[in-house]
Amino acid sequence: MNIDMWKAQIESGTVEEKREAIRAAKDFPIEQVVDTLIKLLYEDNKAIQEAVIEFLMDCSDDIVVERLLPLLKEEDANVRNAAIEILEKIGRDKVDIIGRYLDDEDKDVRLFVCDIIGKFGTEKALDYLIKALNDPEVNVRNSAVMGIGKVQSNRAVEALSDLLSREEDTWVRFSVIDSLTHINLPLAKKVLRDALYQEKNELVLKALLDAIAKFGGEDFVYDAMYVFEFLMTRKLSDIYSDIVDLGLRVDKIEDEKLVYKFAVYLCAYIKYAEDRWTAYRAVNVLPKLSCCAEKILLDVLSFVQEPMIVASAIEGLGQVGTSESIPVLERFLSSEDERQRELAQEAIDKINSRK
C-alpha cells in the first residue's frame, strides 16, 4: 500500500478499514500521516478516536507535538482533550516546544500548557512552571503551583516560597501550601514554619498549621501553641478542630510547663467553644497530658453538662485518676444517666486497682 492508497482508505473506508489504516500508519514516515491522523480525531466515532490516540501516544516526534498544540484552542472538547492526553504521554522530553505556548494570548491555552507540563515533575518542566507563576490569570498560576509541587528540589521550594510571600489570591496560597507539603524536603518545612509566624489571615494560618503537621516533629507542638494563642486573642470559638489533633503528639513534649499551658487552653476551649463535637474531642486529648490531666478533667466535670462530654471526662479519669478523683466519681454513681453510672464505677475500679 502506498501513501495515496492509505489516504483513500482513511477517507472512504468503513470504521474497521479506517482502524486498520491507522495501525498501518507505522509503515510511513510520521510527517506523511500525522495531519491525516489528527483529522480523524474530529470524527464522531469513539473507536476511531481511540485508535488515533493510541497510535500517536507511541510517536514522540517533534512534529506530532507541534501539530497537536494548536488543538488546545479547539472548541470541540473531545478533540482538545485527546490532544492533551497525547501530549501528557509524549511531551516529557518536548517541554521546550510545549512551553512556547505559555506566551499564547488565550488564557485557557496557557492553563492547558501548565496542566500538561505540570504532570512531568522534571527540572526542565520547572523552568516553565516558574515562569507561569507570574501569569496574570489566577487559574494559570494555580496550575503552575500544583505542577511545581511534583518537583522534588530546593529550587521548587524557593519558587513557591517567593510566590507565597507575594500572592494575593487566597486560593492560590492554599495551593502553594499544599504543594510544599508534597515536596518532602527540610527547606519546604522551614518555609511553612517561617510563613506561619508572619501570617495574619486565619484561614491561611489554619492551612499552614495543617501542612506543618504532615511533616511531624516536636516543633509542631510549638507552632500549634502559637496558633492557639493567636486565635484566642480574637475569638475563642474560631480555634480550629485540627489544633485539637495536637493531642496525638503531646506525649512527645518534655516541657511540663508547655503541657500544662496547652491543657489550660483545652479546658477553656471545652468550656466556651461553640463547636461541641470538637470540645468532646478535646476532652479525649486530656488524658494524654499526664502531668496535669487529672486536675483538668476534674475541672471539666465541674462545669460541663453535655452527657457525651461528661462521659468522656469520666472515662479519662479512669485512665489517669488517683484517689483524689474518687469523691467526684462517686457523685456520678447516683446519676440519672445509666451510662455515666457505669463509667463512674469502672473508673473507680480502675483507680482502686492501681493503688
| Average pLDDT value for residue range 301-329 | 92
Cα distance between residue 128 and residue 143, in whole Å: 12
Position with higher pLDDT, 14 vs 265 = 14
Q: What is the mean pLDDT of residues 296-309?
A: 91
Lowest mean pLDDT among 103-107, 208-212, 254-258: 254-258
- Answer yes or no: is 32 within a domain: no
Q: In the chain, what percentage of residues exceed pLDDT 90?
A: 67
Give the three cell numbers for residue 227: 496558633
Reported as a single tens digit per residue, the pLDDT across 148-160 is 999 999 999 999 9
Residue 97 lies in a domain: no
Q: Whole-angstrom Cα distance, residue 33 to residue 11?
A: 13
Q: Is residue 172 assigned to a domain? A: no
pLDDT, mean over the chain: 89
Can you spell out the DSSP letters for 258-313? HHHHHHHHHHHHHHH-S-HHHHHHHHHHGGG-TTTHHHHHHHHHHH---HHHHHHH
Q: Is the pLDDT of residue 92 over 60?
A: yes
Nearest to 109 by CA among 157, 75, 133, 82: 75
pLDDT of residue 223: 81
Q: Is the pLDDT of residue 238 over 60?
A: no
User: Is pLDDT larger for residue 16 or for residue 257?
Assistant: 16
- Give the domain range for residue 297: 217-355
Is residue 19 over pLDDT 60?
Answer: yes
In a domain, 109, yes or no: no
Mean pLDDT within 319-348: 93
Instruction: Write the pLDDT tens digit of every residue in 132-153.
Output: 999 999 999 999 999 999 999 9
The listed range with the strongest mean pLDDT (223-227, 252-256, 343-347) is 343-347
Q: State yes or no: pLDDT of 247 exceeds 80.
A: no
> Is the residue at 10 inside a domain?
no
pLDDT of residue 237: 46
The domain tally of the chain equals: 1
* In-domain check, residue 24: no
pLDDT at 276: 84
Does 147 map to a domain? no
Taking residues 30-34, report their average pLDDT.
Answer: 95
Reference 217, options 244, 182, 193; nearest CA is 193
170-179, 271-280, 311-320, 332-341, range with the lowest pLDDT: 271-280
Q: Is 12 inside a domain boundary?
A: no
Position 236 scores a pLDDT of 45
Can you give the pLDDT at residue 60? 85
Residue 264 has pLDDT above 90, yes or no: no
The per-residue pLDDT for 279 is 84
Q: What is the C-alpha to C-alpha distance for residues 99 and 131, in angstroms, rounded to an integer?
A: 10
How crowded is the C-beta side of 197, counted as CA atoms within 13 Å? 10
Q: Which carries the bigger pLDDT value, residue 313 or residue 60?
A: 313
